[in-house]
Structure 1
Amino acid sequence: MSTLSLAESEATLLTLRAVRRGVRRRQLLLLVGLGALVVALFLARALLGDYRVSFVDGIRMISGTTIPGASFIFMESTLPRACMSVLAGAAFASAGAAFQSMLRNPLASPDVLGINLGASAAAVFAVVLLGWTGMPVALVAFAGAVAVAATIHGFAGRGGAATGRMILVGVGLAAVLSSVVHWVLLRADIYRAQDALVWLTGSLGSVSWSEIVRLGVVVAIGLPLLTLVTRQLGVLGLGDDLAAGLGVRAHRLRILITGLVVLLTASATAVCGPIAFVGFLSGPIARRLAGGRTSVPAAALVGAAMVLAADYVSAYADPNTAYPVGVVTGLAGAPVLVWLLVAGRRTIQEKA
């Protein structure tokens, strides 16, 4: 009898190992596929604009060769926008996926809970009423996002109901901050208000290499850390008390994840504004592609691909007008959201 039990245990262990290998293989294939998609969209955005540039000429210009007519367009317009699309999309998407996983709610992205709006309200106030530009605006935006996140955690408190209170407080703060942004715009002159509205929609039209470097450093630090700490989120689904018994301090983990989310979202928002739907949709899309598992790297790649494609469409869909990238993501995001809701409902009905 004991021999039979031992054989059954070994068979179960082998089955679990096989399942884990299958999951890891699927995740690796998913990341490779999404990475190839991002590379293809990056090359299309950088090389296939109003002025077509070959891949070889692009490498030559990056290495320092000047090609009359092409170098300025490539080095000062299309290539910076492609780089910023990848960085901003990855920042918004990874932050959204982590926050949704932490709060166990697909609606709980930073843009819905007011963190993006906190950065936006502070930045618009500094730009419109104080006339600031550059690094001071980025610092103010970061301070605004930190203030919102601290308020959410302060009112949420501890315990099992903390996640629900965080969502309620975040939605309330988002409504208040939206009113603050409108009040600031009403007090601005027409030209500054127009610039602020373009920025609030989400725009990559005036990015610089210094901003790309700053955001690149933030993403290079924040994305791996966020990927690492979100691996412990599955334990929180068991409840705060049981998580503490397993060595995971729920309150500290939520603060750490929120801090990384603020770092990523505020840094990206300060550069290109709150690009609509990227943080909200990238997590659910990546989760469906990953078979229901939360994957921050997959969400980051989905967000990068989304912003790259939207920026290309916004720049060249209308030959007479270039739209802010947030207009395209907003228009495309609504049907995708409806599709996710319908697909999720069908999945629930099939399981029932």
Structure 2
Amino acid sequence: MTLSTADRSGLTRVRPALRLGPLSLVLRPTMLLIVILLAAVLFALFCLDITTGAAHLPLGRVLDVLTGGGTRSQRFIVLDSRLPRALTALVVGAALGLAGAITQSILHNPLAAPDILGITAGASLGAVAVIVGTGGAATGFAASVGAPLAALTGGLLTAVTIYLLAWGRSPTGDHGVTGLRLVLVGIGVNAFLVSGISFLLARASLQDAARAQLWLNGSLNSADKTRLIPAVLALAFVMVVALGSARTLATLRLGTETTRVLGVRIQTQQAVLMGAAVVAASVATAAVGPVAFVGLAGPQIARRLLRTPGEPLVGSALVGAILVVGADVASRTLFPVDLPVGVVTAAFGGPFLLYLLVRMNRKATLS
């Protein structure tokens, strides 16, 4: 049987597949090229971040030190001082971007980000409580681990609280958590937690309030290996869980009825994926403090660059890392003072949030 020209023109071209044993992958050359370009931009910003500082080092000298060369003083500046900061910025940005991609995919809402849902505020409240409660006398364990551990605990407890408050009967009559209800509850809990942070700052001494406010701005000045290692481990764990559940995550975007017909346990998968996102956001916040709008903007920028139907996991992590590392470079080169990285991301994220709101409003008007 032969097809006419008209019939052939109506057929959809099938993308080439790559088969490796039992695995079968669809080749998307354009998407792969964009991901490689994003990785290249991230590597360039990462190297530039290491060269930036009070003592400027040429890029060639930095690469020489990273490959085992350089003098003792240069190795100290690069490996002990600047490399942990740049790595922390990269890991924190990737974790926030990945957490935002998971939450936005599950809740079908581009505004569903850890800082909007209250996860970041819960982590911040825990850290501020420790910083203010110690009265500046924290040393040893409390100084290096106390606030990050409290931030992680606060983020996890806040996520559990929001999930329980959002549990109820859906429009179809099933019991569970819906995206809209979770977002609304998260916004309310976020407002409550922010007021709690303000209350603690108002009652604290001037010195403790200044220390807490510096942490609340998302500063990389205190980044070290003690906080970097847990963040790396958490990012690796969340990445494995997210990539292992990529097909389930794509199925959840199809809607409740279609997902149930395909045999996916919606509430169980939502709980697992949301738990992974909460761990990533809480650990990132515990490492450097709240870095605003990265979890919101990263997945949406990656989605537009890669032109995917949902928020891409790897692309979101790369864009999130680019935003934080780029903000760290900008904070130390474009301004007369060394600004906290959270201030720079907030300045970028505010207009981007307005853009998303205007775009959503136009879609609602047209529909």
User: Do both share a fold (TM > 0.5)?
Assistant: yes
Deviations along 1:277-336, one digit per CA (max 9) or x if unpaired, are 1111111111111214320110111111111111011122234x2111111111122233
Which of the residues 298, 309, 316 maps onto 1:282?
Answer: 298
Alpha-carbon separation, structure 1, partners of 2:258 and 2:170: 11
Alpha-carbon separation, structure 2, partners of 1:342 and 1:167: 18
The one-letter code matched in structure 2 to 1:271 is: A
Partner of 1:103: 107
Deviation, 1:209, is 1.8
Which of the residues 131, 135, 151 maps onto 2:145?
Answer: 135
Distance 1:177 1:340, change over 3 A: closer
Report how many residues are paired.
346
Report 1:69-218 matches (<5 A). 69-130=73-134, 131=138, 132-157=142-167, 160=170, 162-218=178-234
15-24 vs 200-209, greater mean Cα deviation = 15-24
Alpha-carbon separation, structure 1, partners of 2:9 and 2:249: 26
Alpha-carbon separation, structure 1, partners of 2:208 and 2:216: 12
Deviation, 1:221, is 2.0
- The CA RMSD over aligned residues, in Å, is 3.0
Secondary structure of 1:193's aligned partner: helix
Alpha-carbon separation, structure 2, partners of 1:25 and 1:344: 30
CA contact (8 A) 1:160 1:239 kept: no
The one-letter code matched in structure 2 to 1:249 is: R
Distance 1:290 1:345, change over 3 A: farther
Report 1:171-320 matches (<5 A). 171-293=187-309, 294-319=311-336
Gaps of 5+ in 2: 18-24, 172-177
CA contact (8 A) 1:282 1:300 kept: yes
Report percent identity of matched pairs. Answer: 34
CA contact (8 A) 1:127 1:137 kept: yes
CA contact (8 A) 1:158 1:251 kept: no
CA contact (8 A) 1:51 1:70 kept: no
Gaps of 5+ in 1: none
CA contact (8 A) 2:15 2:28 kept: no
Partner of 2:22: none
TM-score in terms of structure 2 length: 0.84
| Structure 1 residue 33 corresponds to structure 2 residue 32 | no
Alpha-carbon separation, structure 1, partners of 2:66 and 2:298: 31
Deviations along 1:120-162, one digit per CA (max 9) or x if unpaired, are 1111111211443222332222221111111122122266452
Alpha-carbon separation, structure 1, partners of 2:329 and 2:354: 23
Distance 1:313 1:13, change over 3 A: same
202-211 vs 339-348, greater mean Cα deviation = 339-348
Alpha-carbon separation, structure 2, partners of 1:212 and 1:234: 31
TM-score in terms of structure 1 length: 0.88
278-287 vs 70-79, greater mean Cα deviation = 70-79
Partner of 1:17: 14
Alpha-carbon separation, structure 1, partners of 2:115 and 2:299: 13
Tell me which protein shows more helix as a share of its residues.
1
